[in-house]
Structure 1
């Protein structure tokens, strides 16, 4: 595969990895809605780690979730998936740097480098899938509570942290797909072809006069 395409795929994977790192600590995974409220004195926003509130004067107050076991199951799963996404992306970047054709790491064995690039592509795909599942699952619970007319608690809307996660997932999946396609499934190295002269192949044995003449003048020149 063209080296430029691999560089673009690596850049996409790197940007996706950075965006995951931005999305995880972002406080605005969900924000309290103002729908149906005439006067709003405070805004509540949460992420995977803490819950915050800000009043009309702009004072912020945050508290971390006190217990892991007391959290909802989807929050615990989203945490695990986002951490796994960071890990997959880290190893994917390392494999991508080694497996690129324009990289000097890994020597000149392009078959092996292609396979390493393919592994990096799979890791990027796993990163994108983990991120996509995490943010989509979190958003599903937000919308489920929002549209439930009998939900007694505070209703929330989707925050900017989820949009960053979705963009990261798409970039990681695209970059991973390109890297996976660059994986070369051949099992042999590319060696120079044996010497060919007008249709006659010489592979080690000395050519005879008859074979040289036949290749030069054709078979009809001799009876």
Structure 2
């Protein structure tokens, strides 16, 4: 019962992390223009993985999508790929977790369900690492430009989407690790059950054949088996 509760908790935590990671894709504020050292702010610049925008003092925003994927900076392309991979892995991990958990009635035997759930935990863990790498790479670019004294263009600060992505990544990684820990007991129980069945089979084989082997060792032949009709009478039965 406790193992089932742990699996459900891990599933809820990992799924919540995957939802948070998925919500960072359409979020606008991946980076926001810095107002450090600025007395009068007339516009606010912000952008994400898909577009860049500017908002004036009246609250009117003007956005422009990135014109070409091949013309983008390399770090934006890498972040896009990592975030899409994280979302896809989290989707398949959620489906596998629903099949592999003990509280569900699908998936087959306990050993097969344990393997499926182990694969789901591995996918959640990799999904969290992908989103964590994407957010960290994007934040590293922002901070390196902010603290570079030779960078004279517009400087930015970390947006809200990065913190949401970091939180979701942590939940995905934590949920995947809890899946691994909860399934170690299931694998050990399955192995012990297999060993127990093997021991019972060996014991029954020894008990059934041990007596006849002992009689042969003492020079005695075991009594004939008359249970089969073909062995009750031989060719000299009527002589």
* Contact kept in structure 2, 1:139 and 1:158, CA below 8 Å: yes
Q: Which residue of 1 aligns with 2:115?
A: 115
Partner of 2:48: 47
3-state secondary structure, aligned to 1:114: helix
2:102 paired with 1:94:
no
Q: Deviations over 1:94-128 (max 9, x none)?
A: 11111111111113x11111111110010001100
2:193 corresponds in structure 1 to 190
Structure 1, unmatched stretches of 5+, are 195-200, 209-223
Mapped partners of 1:45, 1:139: distance in 2: 14
Normalising by structure 1, we get a TM-score of: 0.84
Once the two structures are TM-superposed, the CA of residue 70 in structure 1 deviates from its matched residue by 1.3
Q: Matched residues in 2 for 1:138 and 1:53: separation?
A: 19
Match of 1:158 in 2: 158
Separation in 2, partners of 1:202, 1:121: 38
Q: Is the 8 A contact 1:19 1:164 kept in 2?
A: yes
* Greater CA drift, 184-193 or 68-77: 184-193
* Contact 2:18 2:169 survives alignment (8 Å): no
1:180 Cα offset (Å): 2.1
Q: Which of 40-49 and 181-190 deviates more?
A: 181-190
The number of aligned residues is: 201
Q: TM-score, normalised by structure 2?
A: 0.78
Tell me what 2:24 maps to. 23
Is the alpha carbon distance of 1:185 and 1:41 closer, same or farther for their aligned partners in structure 2, counting shifts above 3 Å?
same
Q: Does structure 2 retain, via aligned residues, the 8 Å contact 1:119–1:180?
A: no
In structure 1, C-alpha distance between the alignment counterparts of 2:95 and 2:193, rounded to whole Å: 25
SS at match of 2:204: coil
Partner of 2:139 in structure 1? 139
Q: Which residue number in structure 2 is paired with residue 213 of structure 1?
A: none
Q: Is the 8 A contact 1:124 1:173 kept in 2?
A: yes
Task: Work out whether 1:12 is the aligned partner of 2:20.
Answer: no
2:32, 2:46 within 8 Å by CA — same for their partners in 1? yes
1:193 CA drift (Å): 5.9
Partner of 1:176: 176
- Shift of residue 192, structure 1, vs aligned partner: 11
Question: In 2, Cα distance between the equivalents of 1:76 and 1:193?
Answer: 54
Alpha-carbon spacing, 1:44–1:11, altered in 2? closer, same or farther (3 Å): same
- Paired residue for 2:64? 63
How large is the RMSD of aligned CA atoms in angstroms? 2.3
Q: Does the CA contact (< 8 Å) of 1:120 and 1:180 recur in 2?
A: no
